[in-house]
Amino acid sequence: MQYFIQQLINGLTLGSIYGLIAIGYTMVYGIIGMINFAHGDIFMVGAFTALIVFLILGAMFYSVPVAAALLIMMIVSMLLVSLYNWVIEKIAYRPLRGSFRLAPLITAIGMSIVLSNFVQVTQGPRNKPIPPMVSQVYNVYGVSISLKQIIIVVVTALLLVIFWYVVNKTSLGRAQRACEQDRKMAALLGVNVDRTISITFIIGASLAAVAGTLFLMYYGVVVFSDGFVPGVKAFTAAVLGGIGSIPGAVLGGLAIGFIESIWSAYFSIDYKDVAAFSILAIVLIFMPSGILGRPEVEKV
C-alpha cells in the first residue's frame, strides 16, 4: 500500500507539470480553434531560460537562497518566454488566422522545428545538468515525499487558483470567454480580439515557462529535444480532459501522470507511453469530446 501511495505522489508531481503545459494548448484551441504544436518547445525554451538564469546567478553571487533563485528563474523565464510566444503569434499565426485550417497547423509545426533547432545550435546538443537545488526528503509513514514534489504541487495549485480567478472574475476573462464563443460577435461588442488572443498566448507561455522551471528543478537536466515528448504528453492530456476545457486540461494532465507512474511501477517502464496513449484511445472511443469536453455545435 505504501508503494502504491508513493507512485500516486510521483504521478501527482508529473501530472502537475503536464497540466500546466496542457492549459496552453487548450486555451489557444478554445479561442481560435488552433493546435499550437510549438507549445511544447516553448516549454523547453522556458527550461533553458531558467537554466541560463541559474548559471548567471551562480556566477554573480557566491550564495543565493534557493527560494529566491527559483523565484528569479521563474519570473525571468516567464517574461522572456512570453515575449517569444507573443512574437510567434504576431508574425507566424495572426496573418494566417483567416486562411484554411491546415496553414496554421503547418506553421505551428514549422515554428516547433525552428525553436528546437535554435536551442540546439545556441546551447548545443548535449544534456545540460545543474547541481541539485532542493534535496530534502521527508518520510511520512513509510512514504518518501521530497521538497521538490511539494514545491511543484503547491506552485501548480497556486497558479491554477490565480488563473481560475482571472478567467472567471476579470474583464480579461470575460473577453476570452466571449472570443471563445464567437469572435465576430465579441468584436462587434467592443472586445479587442487581437489583443485578447495575444494575451492568451502570453498566459499560456507563462504557465509553460513555470512548468519548464519546475521540470529543470525536478530532473536537474534539460536537452533541446525535451520539448517534444512532454509537449505530446501535454497535448494528449488536453485531448483526454476535453480540448478547450481548462479544468479538463488539468484533469487530463493528472490522469496521464498517474497512468505513467502506476504503469512504470507495476509493469515495464518501456511501455508507459503505450499505456497512456491506449487509455486516451479508449476514452475517446466512448467519450469523443474527452472527459470534460463539450460536444462541438456547428453554427448555421
In the chain, where the domains are located: 2-286
Alpha carbons 10 and 149: distance in angstroms, whole number: 8
Amino acid at 233: K
> Which among 48-57, 266-275, 285-294 has the top mean pLDDT?
48-57
Alpha carbons 244 and 92: distance in angstroms, whole number: 22
Residue 236 scores a pLDDT above 90: no
Q: How confident is the model over 75-100, as pLDDT tens digits?
A: 999 999 999 999 988 888 888 877 77
Structural fold of domain 2-286:
ABC transporter involved in vitamin B12 uptake, BtuC (1.10.3470)
- Rg of the chain (C-alpha set): 19
Cell of 89: 503569434
Q: How confident is the model over 165-208, as pLDDT tens digits?
A: 888 888 888 888 888 888 888 888 888 888 998 999 999 899 99
Mean pLDDT of 211-222: 90
Contact 291, 283 (CB under 8 A): yes
**224 or 291: which carries more pLDDT confidence?**
224
Determine the 3-state secondary structure of 129 from DSSP.
strand
Alpha carbons 194 and 189: distance in angstroms, whole number: 14
Mean pLDDT of 15-21: 90
Handedness of CA 105, 114, 21, 219 (dihedral sign): positive
Share of the chain above pLDDT 90, in %: 18
Residue 146 scores a pLDDT above 60: yes
Residue 212: pLDDT band with limits 50, 70, 90: very high
Residue 227: pLDDT band with limits 50, 70, 90: confident
Please measure the distance between the N-terminal and C-terminal CA atoms of the chain and give it in whole angstroms: 54
- What pLDDT, on the 0 to 100 scale, is given for residue 294? 66
pTM of the model: 0.89
Determine the 3-state secondary structure of 124 from DSSP.
coil
- What pLDDT, on the 0 to 100 scale, is given for residue 59? 81
Alpha carbons 289 and 275: distance in angstroms, whole number: 20
**188 or 299: which carries more pLDDT confidence?**
188
Contact 201, 104 (CB under 8 A): no
Other CB atoms within 10 A of residue 136 CB: 10
Residue 298 scores a pLDDT above 70: no
Mean pLDDT of 115-133: 88
